[in-house]
Structure 1
Amino acid sequence: MMTIRSFLQRRCVPTAAWLTSACLLLAPIELSAQSDTVGDTTQGDALVAEYFQLETAALSTDVVTPGMTRDELEKQQAIDRSRLADMLGLDPMPERTPLNVTTVDSETRDGFRLERLHFQPSPGLYVAANLYLPLEVDEPLPTILYVCGHSRQIKDGVSFGNKAGYHHHGVWFARNGYVCLIIDTIQWGEFLGDHHGTYRLGRWWWNNRGYTPAGVEAWTGMRALDYLETRKEVDADRFGITGRSGGGVYSWWTTALDQRIKVAVPVAGITTLHDHVVNGCVEGHCDCMFMVNTYRWDYPRVAALVAPRPLLISNSDKDGIFPLEGVVETHRQVRDVYRLYGAPDKLGLQITEGPHKDTQELRVHAFRWFNRFLKNEDALITMPAAKSLDSSELRVFNPLPADERVTTADEWFVSKASQTSQSPKKRMQLLQEKTFAGWPSDSDRVSAKPAKIVTRSRDTVKCEMYEFTSQIPYRFQMFVLTDASNSQPIENVVIEALDQERFEQVGKGIGFLFQKEGGERQGKAEFDSLKAHLSKSPHSVFVFFAPRGIGATEWSRNERTRTHIRRRFMLLGQTADSMRIWDVRQAIAAVRQIPNLADGDLRLVGHRNAAAWAVYASLFDEPVNELELIDLAPTNREGLSLLNVSRIAEIDDVVKMAGERAKLIKN
């Protein structure tokens, strides 16, 4: 049996040098009763993997560039600090409202004092905390903010908070002359909020809002410092911060943004973009590990913002989610920053043997680092940090306050766009800068010049198949359909970008063209529908194509695999949808280079999400005369996933902008 796929496999002529293993083939449109469109995504999986490698390599640039001066570095870091705040949803910075600190109780234990308290970085954003102090405090002391990784401390349905899982750190610091505040996070704290929005909850609208729980944790850390500054036991000129795993990355966020922190020891909290995207570490991490990567950073750029303050990068050598190679590469780049500052002695790298675990070896070097830079001491560590308290002893809330906004932080922490806040011109600028910054630049944009591959006719339907490049390594097929019995001049060019559902419908009809006369009748009904559509539009030519991840380039249908493909796009400062919009732009450019199609009025058609691709694509480049939008989602939240878009405009705003350039047809 003949399929279009097998027809092109027989040709198998490489379309470009970068197609390393085989020619890029047409979508698997099956013409028999057994469809090969489902299940075989080998080609799409290979393409998206290659794409991720290429994009990651392009972003993996050193923080210190050749010839950079210290003055240039300082200016760049000021810009980067502002940009990081933006990517964490902290630009503008939230209002520093009253903390409403409440000390629930305090007690004296063996060698330390313990206070159970809570505060509110923003109204209703309750944070449960334990404060550890020495038994006697005669003068302000160096103070450690301990930020916690994920630690499930639940018994009989009650969560005591991840602060309880790391209490031994607080006890050690208090017994050794420090004040230490350990704070809960919104995930696995006494409140059970969420860090897993895109990881497993399908909350792709987090991207739209520019929301990441990393921003909440960074804000909580900064406000914790505000609280500590009010304590007479605290020397606010000697703040240190540490934490492991999730706490490691919160240490990075908070230290990068808040220069009150003088010494930092992030433990197992960073690796490179290459590790996350290419090597797959993203699949082991929830969203608190990632900023919304609007400015397309690699992670050493975050680490560089600690310089020139004392920094110990700490990790174990068998950590599967923060691999050794990425940690060492991060250190290499940050070392160049410290050297440019003339402070190489303030940067350390600790690698211990072991897995992703809170080990004694990791703790001891952290304690020595803080002693060295906060107390000017170099004594041996003789006291271990051993767990001594039951988790239930560290509970703060009983019951939880009814007015909490911890578990709904994703709904309010980052504000949505005001309906009147921006002019269309300003919104276009922001969309280009904050939503579509992951598109190729004008200088990197490849030619979309189409190449005709084959022409087929059946009955009165003529189909010409073209190929065009959207972005390396993506080369797409485009089907140009006309009524061969009609001699009327072409006045209208109708381009439809196909979602998967429409691809499978239209593909059957186009596939019927490639069957032998008298062969099987699979796709006859769909073909007849196309033929009727053509006969009703004698002055029109119809162009169909499927953007990346659909049809020929469809990637895995395994839901978990698809989730992490989408998250990889996110880490690259893109989304699958934003790059599909780019593909539509390139398809328009390709069509305009086909003889006889350059001058006709242009109509873009889309169903469901494809309607939104058409709307956004119509705002750029070639003028679009008409937009036909079928079943367009009414809100951003129900539609595409696009970075920061809800901070800029709702879909109604974008449709209005498009309507100023094109006639709108809504169905």
Structure 2
Amino acid sequence: MLAALDDRITTAVPTAGITDLRNYILDGRVANHCDCMFMINTYRWDFPMVAALAAPRPMLLANGDHDPLFPIDGVRRLFSKTRQVYGLYEKLGNWNRLIVDAPHEDVPPLRQETYRWMHRHLKDQELTRMDSAKAFFDPVDLKVFDEVPADEINTRIDELFVEPAPVPDIPKGQEQWQELRESWRQQLKNKTFRGWPDGPSPLNVEKAYATSLEGLRLSAYDFNSQPAIRLRLWLLQVGQGNRRLDTVNVSVVGEEGWQTWASVLGAMADRERAKELVGKGA
């Protein structure tokens, strides 16, 4: 959100474009977005903190109540936390929220309230009546240049966001190499791997499911991969599982691999399909 970074933005209306990390991660909404939605989150900020950086400047947070990309439960949580920051500034008059009956779409009620907000805080005017379908400009009126400027940077802006790192001097001895090595390790720990836990935490393993069919035994175990991150391990065994195993195959699968495994796991609940798989040696 540009208003979080640039104080020259005097008022903002983020529309159908922000929710909290619980929606993105735990509810799986991250799969619906490209990486342009996410900053390099070195310090593990949740998105209400990003929105609150605009305080105490005027901000209207707007969203549809059945937007599949930005679910309303997470949006409401973000609204509440951002409002608290405006309260600390004693500027609640500069904050408001707008929820309309809409999917992920810029519907007229969103535009109408946006225009009213902008008129109030940019022009010090109250807009009482407006035709939301009215076109204020023809596309040709918005043209700025007759031709692309010779000094344009749009086509290489990705090269200018971050200044290239300076080339370090080559160490002249073992002591300098050790110092450089330790410096790099600290940078990796503090930046790249900052979100990693300091050490292993209790797994808290719980058996979630078990079934057996035609000599196959299927079990599911839930465990903590790290604090607050709960994952599931599926275990498929031949026999009753009470003998020492000669071989253990561990598979970490992506989306495509999971779909293949899901068809096998689902077959354990479908007796006829399971018999077919067992008969084929699957």
TM-score normalised by length of structure 1: 0.29
1:558 pairs with 2:256: yes
Name 1:446's counterpart in structure 2: 201
Name 1:639's counterpart in structure 2: none
Name 2:246's counterpart in structure 1: 514
Could you tell me which runs of 5 or more consecutive residues in structure 2 were left unpaired when the two chains were aligned: 170-178, 204-223, 234-244, 260-282
- Summarize deviations over 1:239-297 as a string: whole Å, max 9, x none: xxxxxxxxxxxxx2x21122232222111111111111122222222222110111111
1:370 pairs with 2:110: no
Other structure's SS at 1:266 match? coil
1:433 pairs with 2:185: no
Name 1:336's counterpart in structure 2: 84
Q: CA deviation at 1:347?
A: 1.1
Could you tell me which runs of 5 or more consecutive residues in structure 1 were left unpaired when the two chains were aligned: 1-251, 449-468, 477-512, 516-544, 546-550, 562-667
Q: CA deviation at 1:403?
A: 7.2
In structure 1, what is the Cα distance between the partners aligned to 2:75 and 2:18? 7
Instruction: Flag the 1:416–1:553 CA change in 2: closer, same or farther, 3 A.
Output: farther
Contact 2:3–2:9 (CA under 8 A) maintained in structure 1: yes
In structure 2, what is the Cα distance between the partners aligned to 1:313 and 1:390? 28
Instruction: Flag the 1:360–1:296 CA change in 2: closer, same or farther, 3 A.
Output: same
Q: CA deviation at 1:367?
A: 1.6
Name 1:255's counterpart in structure 2: 3
Q: Which amino acid is 2:201 matched to?
A: V
- Summarize deviations over 1:391-441 as a string: whole Å, max 9, x none: 566555676568765344445532443330793333222211110101113
Name 1:572's counterpart in structure 2: none
Work out the number of aligned pairs and report it. Answer: 217
In structure 1, what is the Cα distance between the partners aligned to 2:162 and 2:257? 28
Q: CA deviation at 1:302?
A: 0.3
Structure having the higher Rg = 1
Contact 1:316–1:353 (CA under 8 A) maintained in structure 2: yes
In structure 2, what is the Cα distance between the partners aligned to 1:438 and 1:309? 31
Q: Which amino acid is 1:436 matched to?
A: F
Other structure's SS at 1:315 match? strand
Other structure's SS at 2:86 match? helix
Write the mapping of 1:180-195 to structure 2, written as runs, cut at 5 A: none
Q: CA deviation at 1:345?
A: 2.1
In structure 1, what is the Cα distance between the partners aligned to 2:137 and 2:126? 29
Name 2:53's counterpart in structure 1: 305
In structure 1, what is the Cα distance between the partners aligned to 2:110 and 2:57? 20
Q: CA deviation at 1:379?
A: 3.9
- Summarize deviations over 1:347-402 as a string: whole Å, max 9, x none: 10111111211222111111221222233322403343534766566555676568
Instruction: Flag the 1:358–1:475 CA change in 2: closer, same or farther, 3 A.
Output: closer
In structure 1, what is the Cα distance between the partners aligned to 2:144 and 2:6? 27
Instruction: Flag the 1:281–1:392 CA change in 2: closer, same or farther, 3 A.
Output: farther
- Summarize deviations over 1:206-231 as a string: whole Å, max 9, x none: xxxxxxxxxxxxxxxxxxxxxxxxxx
Other structure's SS at 1:325 match? helix
1:406 pairs with 2:154: yes
Write the mapping of 1:433-512 to structure 2, written as runs, cut at 5 A: 433-441=190-198, 445-446=200-201, 471=226
In structure 2, what is the Cα distance between the partners aligned to 1:475 and 1:276? 19
Other structure's SS at 1:331 match? helix
Aligned-CA RMSD value:
3.5
Instruction: Flag the 1:266–1:558 CA change in 2: closer, same or farther, 3 A.
Output: same
Contact 1:368–1:381 (CA under 8 A) maintained in structure 2: no
1:291 pairs with 2:46: no
Instruction: Flag the 1:394–1:351 CA change in 2: closer, same or farther, 3 A.
Output: same
TM-score normalised by length of structure 2: 0.64
Higher relative contact order (CA 8 A, sep 6+): 1
1:271 pairs with 2:28: no
Other structure's SS at 1:314 match? strand
In structure 2, what is the Cα distance between the partners aligned to 1:359 and 1:475? 41
In structure 2, what is the Cα distance between the partners aligned to 1:310 and 1:365? 14
In structure 1, what is the Cα distance between the partners aligned to 2:202 and 2:258? 34
Moved more, 283-292 or 414-423: 414-423
Contact 1:272–1:327 (CA under 8 A) maintained in structure 2: yes
Higher strand share: 1
Name 1:353's counterpart in structure 2: 101
Q: CA deviation at 1:310?
A: 1.5
Contact 2:112–2:130 (CA under 8 A) maintained in structure 1: no
Identity value in percent? 41
